[in-house]
Amino acid sequence: MILNKFSLTGKVALVTGCKRGIGKAMALALAEAGADIIGVSASLEEGSEISTLVTKLGREFHAYQCDFSQRDDLYKFINKVKENHPVIDILVNNAGIIRRAQSLDFSEDDWDAVMDINLKVVFFLSQAFARSRIAANRGGSIINIASLLSFQGGINVPSYTASKSAVAGLTKTLSNEWSASGITVNAVAPGYVVTNNTEALRKDEARNQAILDRIPIGRWAAPEDICGAVTFLASPAARYVTGITLPVDGGWLGR
């Protein structure tokens, strides 16, 4: 009975940015819990590794390509998914980018690129998801991927910090508006994870050691370390959990 509350059997989950890293790990974890997956990335194909892994679990995988930096592509994707998949139970807003430069030198183009993908896309995908679920009088789960920089300032990443701080705030306001309709809205804030986005930090020997010294668990996270929180928030076990940003950071914020 208790285990059934964590099951996603019969559910459909849309995961953005699922070709690699955290997104790939989350899509696979949701499939392992029983969900069919709609995956979207800028270069995702049906024969990709995540597609193969999900189908080996006996779950369906539907691949879509979308360049979220292009506004027209975003809305074409939204309309196509609504047409092809009228029922989506879970939305995981994972797609994101980062640009690094000192604030004195940060360009407007880099600012806009990060804010568009990390924040605007999150809002409008969530809006489309909620409209569909509310019109059908059905609940659902939205899980946004925030960051430790939803709580802290970071160094040389002004647009990323601003976008992820905004994701935490947006999570609260959407929860306030939609929870009464049965749509829970939460965020997960990963700590320092081994992904493409953190490669520059890991290659900086001094910075890498400073990060490790701050993490009580004593290591960087693997993408799979983030999956338990996401699967929980997507499941019936979390039906009374909404409006939170849950850190999964190896103890970083508690230090």
**pTM, rounded to two decimals:** 0.95
CB 9 within 8 A of CB 234: no
Chain Cα centroid distance, residue 8? 17
Task: Reply yes or no on whether the pLDDT at 1 is more than 70.
Answer: no
Residue 3 pLDDT level (bands cut at 50, 70, 90)? low
Distance CA 113, CA 239 (A): 34
Residues near 119 by beta carbon (within 8 Å), at least 6 away in sequence: 163, 166, 167, 170
Question: Catalytic one among 64, 75, 160, 192?
Answer: 160
CB atoms within 10 A of CB 241: 15
Instruction: Collapse the DSSP code of 130 into the 3-class scheme (helix H, G, I; strand E, B; otherwise coil) and give the result.
Output: helix
Going by pLDDT thresholds of 50, 70 and 90, the confidence category of residue 44 is confident
160 is catalytic: yes
Q: Which range, of 17-26, 91-100, 184-193, 194-203, averages the lowest pLDDT? A: 194-203
193-252 pLDDT, tens digit per residue, is 998 878 888 999 999 999 999 999 999 999 999 999 999 999 999 999 999 999 999 999
Tell me the pLDDT band of 47, cut-offs 50, 70 and 90.
Answer: confident
Write out 101-121 in H/E/C secondary structure.
CCHHHCCHHHHHHHHHHHHHH
Structure-block tokens of residue 195: 């992904």
**Across-strand partners of 241?**
none
